[in-house]
Amino acid sequence: MTPMQIAGYLAHARTRGYKQRLQRALSMIAEHPDYCVSISWGKDSLCILHMALEVHGHAKAVHARYSENEELPDMPGVRQAFLDRFGGVDYHEAPVWGDWEIYQRAGRFFLAPETPKERRIVADWHQEFVDSIDSVTLSTGAKGKILGLAAHESRGRAMNIYKLGEHYQTQVEALPKLLPIAHWHPEDVWAYMLTHNLPRLKIYDFADDPERARSEVAFAAIGAEAADAVRRHGAWRLWADCYPELWKKWTDKYPEISSLC
């Protein structure tokens, strides 16, 4: 992130539109003091957790913890820096498996599952992922989850928000979801991050466009269309440049990733 980009985001924080969207997000969070923040330690959920602390003075947070094969190397440092700086976080972790384990079970790398076995593995991953997070969240006594999802991130998310709204619960989910930044603009997040000087992953500073940088390795688990879009937008190359040791671990195990990148 360049000094000019930083100056632009800080200027955006003074705009009327940003202030209105921020106030609406804070009001939504204020209405649900018994909800738990789902924290990935990426920029969006960091803003949500900080807002919950600003509104309530305390917050519950649950993190889906992947194996060392998928967690970005500097994520523990960002996590500890935030928790050390801001008190009042009742922090919990839900152990989950991800793409690495999906491919281990399938016996090959893929973006789209092609066989009944592969489709079953991906379906099992999704269900176990949700169940693990919901189980830990329920154990905290929370009555719902606050997520940092936004419509601008993908067509699928935009459609879900259009159909379900900013506060909903589906028949198959144990807890309702609250999306305070569903209609935020990409620059809103960075305006908030920089205004409050929140710790951040180095991949955001490494990227030419910090609004597109992602806080997780993303292949099959996010779906073939989304994963291919992430690849085309340069996220794979960015991971490779920013975290070469982690990227080497993946390409040593699955060499075909290099040709796709």
Quick check: is 230 in a domain? no
Per-residue model confidence (pLDDT) at position 116: 95
Per-residue model confidence (pLDDT) at position 121: 93
Phi, psi of 124, rounded to the nearest 5 degrees? -65, -40
How far is Cα 244 from Cα 206, in angstroms, rounded to an integer?
Answer: 13
Give the distance, in angstroms, between the CA of residue 78 and the centroid of all CA atoms in the same chain: 14
End-to-end Cα spacing for the chain: 23
Quick check: is 136 in a domain? yes
How far is Cα 261 from Cα 235, in angstroms, rounded to an integer?
Answer: 9
Quick check: is 125 in a domain? yes
Per-residue model confidence (pLDDT) at position 49: 97
Domain that includes residue 187, residue range: 3-202
Pairing label, strands 144-146, 89-95: unpaired
Instruction: Supply the DSSP symbol for 207.
Output: S
Per-residue model confidence (pLDDT) at position 22: 97
CATH number of domain containing 27: 3.40.50.620
Pairing label, strands 89-95, 35-38: unpaired
Tell the residue number behind the tokens 């719902």, with chain if given. 144
How far is Cα 113 from Cα 146, in angstroms, rounded to an integer?
Answer: 30
Per-residue model confidence (pLDDT) at position 133: 92
Quick check: is 120 in a domain? yes
Per-residue model confidence (pLDDT) at position 160: 84
DSSP E strands in the chain: the ranges are: 35-38, 59-65, 89-95, 144-146, 167-168, 177-178
Instruction: Supply the DSSP symbol for 222.
Output: G
Quick check: is 72 in a domain? yes
Per-residue model confidence (pLDDT) at position 182: 92
Quick check: is 183 in a domain? yes
Q: How many residues are there in the chain?
A: 261
pLDDT (tens digit, 0 to 9) for every residue of the chain, 261 residues total? 888 999 999 999 999 999 999 999 999 999 999 999 999 999 999 999 999 999 999 999 999 998 888 889 999 999 999 999 998 999 999 999 888 999 999 999 888 888 999 999 999 998 898 899 999 999 999 999 999 988 887 777 788 888 889 999 888 788 999 999 999 998 999 999 999 999 999 999 888 887 777 777 666 655 555 556 666 666 778 888 899 999 999 999 988 887 776
Per-residue model confidence (pLDDT) at position 261: 65
What's the number of domains the chain is made of?
A: 1
Quick check: is 238 in a domain? no
Pairing label, strands 177-178, 167-168: antiparallel
Pairing label, strands 177-178, 89-95: unpaired
Per-residue model confidence (pLDDT) at position 21: 96
Quick check: is 122 in a domain? yes
Write the CA distances from 22 to 5, 61, 74, 79, 185, integer angstroms.
Answer: 20, 20, 28, 23, 11
8 A C-beta contact, residue 28 and residue 180: yes
Beta bridge partners of 145: 36, 177
Per-residue model confidence (pLDDT) at position 113: 87
Beta bridge partners of 91: 61
In what helix (H) or strand (E) does residue 173 lie, and over which residues does it extend? none
